[in-house]
Amino acid sequence: MSDSEAHDWLANADSVESIQAVVCDLNGILRGKRVPIGQAKKVLEGGIRMPLSIVGVDVWGEDIVGSSQVFASGDMDGICSPTGRGALPVTWTLKPSAVVPLWLFKETGEPFLADPRQALAHIVRQYHELGLRPVVASEMEFYLIDSEPDHAEPPISPYTGKRLDSDAILSIDELDDFGQFFSDVYAECERQNVPADSAVAENGIGQFEINLMHTDDPLKAADDALFFKRIIKGVARKHGFAATFMAKPYGLRSGSGMHVHFSLIDENDRNVFDDGTELGSDIMRHAVAGLTRGMAETTLLFAPHYNSYRRLRPDTHAPTSITWGYENRTAAIRIPGGNTAARRIEHRVAGADANPYLVMAGILGAALTGIRNKWDPPAPVTGRAYQAKAARIPSEWGSAVTAFENGPIVSEIFDPDFRSMLIACKRQEIAGFAEQVTDFEFSAYLEIV
């Protein structure tokens, strides 16, 4: 619904007592305020203010020590304007509520480009200046887990009453077992205008994937992915289990990815990646070249967390080499086959734990750099890309932060405030994990060394 429609809907929604005015932070976490329903007009007319630093807190919600956006600048407020998504009804909670998505602007009215949604919008505007519109779709994998333990454990089937104990890729029976959950997910997606497509059972125990339909509005595509994740988690709670988008909740089972498909259409709605052949156009290969050249320095956007790097391992259906290929799912960049009119690029690096705005910004930004510079990609890989003699995707969190910090392509794509805030956030999170001694580490070393 539009913002004006949202105002009318909220004015007549007798059961809704409050709304949540939210912005998305660098980690893809919604942060904001609970506002009484009587203040809906204020929210929908941009009357809410929040600190600009709110998008840069760490994954635990802590301010970044020494951040220029906090104490050095007085922790100034930004203007929170509606994104145009209106109000999203939330029905899985004890009392119905609504979420109003917002994004940040400076006092001057300029976009605050460290806001993840603004960072993506900045790149999309550059495509529009070239007369191009990115068409984007995503595939979202997740696990359903038991809500009781404090570690990942497969859920109990609502149909059989037994705990899931085996992989069931493309199992129709497993989809049927959780049929009511999926029915409610699709109903909530329809309420929130999230275009959910087909659902499949994936490789892991209790792992599923739902595809989101393509759109020529990348901001909406990222919005859809963000709110889809929230719908899945909320509906799972309603049904007595939990859902996780962790990249690797089980050490020895499949990780969860967020694959992104994109193409470009011109002002005549022509797919510029299609040249009538299976090879694709020059502009498609220039985009691939930008993606491969920028892969190492953008990996932090696709694998932003400590757990993310457990997924990027050989022979795990996740890529490890900076490679591309035609119909090759072992490569980081895949060019799907089929009708040439639908020629597109599939980017397979991101985990499901990543921020959808930053994933799409990293992909579209790197591709745009390749297109502008008319770079040529390396030769496409054939066969098993895990064995290819090619550069490797960073396999360790700190290395990815360093590559992002020193990367010339990300310096071209992103605003300095965004880069400094993300680097500081990730350095603080790395320090937080380094200070923890795990139970496994304790049991391994306690008496033996």
Report the C-alpha gap between 251 and 261 in whole angstroms: 27
Q: What pLDDT does residue 274 have?
A: 97
CB 137 within 8 A of CB 212: yes
Same domain as 164, residue 88:
no
CATH number at residue 80: 3.10.20.70
pLDDT in tens, 111-134: 999 999 999 999 999 999 999 999
Q: Which pLDDT value is given to residue 4?
A: 67
Do residues 257 and 175 share a domain? Answer: yes
Residue 184 included in any domain: yes
The answer as to whether 426 is a domain residue is: no
Of 112, 142, 163, which residue sits at a domain end?
A: 112
Same domain, 14 and 138: no
- The answer to whether 371 touches 287, Cβ cutoff 8 Å, is yes
Q: What is the pLDDT of residue 167?
A: 63
Same domain flag for 93 and 139: no
**Domain identity same for 84 and 181:** no
Task: Give the CATH number, domain containing residue 376.
Answer: 3.30.590.10
Q: For 83, phi and psi rounded to 5 degrees?
A: -80, -10
Structural domains counted in the chain:
2
Domain end, chosen from 112, 134, 157, is at 112
In a domain, 430, yes or no: no
Residues 106 and 145 in one domain: no
The residue range of the domain holding 368 is 125-414
Distances (CA, A) of 304 to 165, 301, 360: 30, 6, 14
Measured from the Cβ of residue 144, the count of other Cβ atoms closer than 10 Å reads 23
Same domain for 76 and 157, yes or no, is no
pLDDT in tens, 363-377: 999 999 999 999 999
Same domain, 333 and 369: yes
- Beta strands in 333-381, from DSSP E residues, in sequence order: 333-335, 345-347
- Let me know whether 104 and 237 are in one domain: no
Cα dist. 375→11, 85, 327, 425 in Å? 53, 37, 22, 32
Report yes or no on 432 lying in a domain: no
83 within some domain: yes
> How far is 213 from 67, CA to CA, in rounded Å?
38
Q: What gap in Å lies between CA 420 and CA 423, rounded to an integer?
A: 5
Q: Confirm whether 311 is domain-assigned.
A: yes
Strands 324-326 and 333-335: parallel
Distance between CA atoms of residues 290 and 377, nearest Å: 8
Spatial CB neighbours of 60, under 8 Å, sequence gap ≥ 6:
432
- CB distance 236 to 181 below 8 Å: yes
Question: In terms of domains, do 340 and 302 share one?
Answer: yes
Domain termination residue (choose one: 81, 112, 143)? 112
Strands 97-105 and 88-90: antiparallel
Instruction: List per-residue pLDDT tens for the chain, 449 residues long.
Output: 666 676 667 766 667 888 999 999 999 999 999 998 888 888 888 889 999 999 999 999 999 987 766 655 557 899 999 999 988 999 888 888 899 999 999 999 999 999 999 999 999 999 999 999 999 999 999 999 998 877 788 877 777 777 777 666 556 667 778 888 999 999 999 999 999 998 888 777 889 999 999 999 999 999 999 999 999 999 999 999 999 999 999 988 899 999 999 999 999 999 999 999 999 999 999 999 999 999 999 999 999 999 999 999 988 889 999 999 999 999 999 999 999 999 999 999 999 999 999 999 999 999 999 999 999 999 999 988 888 889 999 999 999 999 999 999 999 999 999 999 999 999 999 999 999 998 889 899 988 88
Buried b (16+ CB within 10 A) or exposed e, 234-252: bbbeebebbbbbbbbbbee
Nearest to 262 by CA among 320, 196, 217: 217
> Torsion-angle region of residue 274: left (phi > 0), alpha (psi -120 to 50) or beta?
beta
Prediction pTM value: 0.94
Give the H or E element holding residue 187.
helix 179-191
Q: What is the pLDDT of residue 71?
A: 56
Closest-CA residue to 254 (of 142, 177, 341): 142
pLDDT at 102: 97
Output the pLDDT for position 341. Answer: 93
Task: Mark whether 36 and 102 lie in a shared domain.
Answer: yes
- Res 158: pLDDT: 78
436 lies in a domain? no
Residue 52 placed within a domain: yes
Res 7: pLDDT? 66
Q: Strand 77-82 relative to strand 48-51: parallel, antiparallel, unpaired?
A: antiparallel
143 shares its domain with 89: no
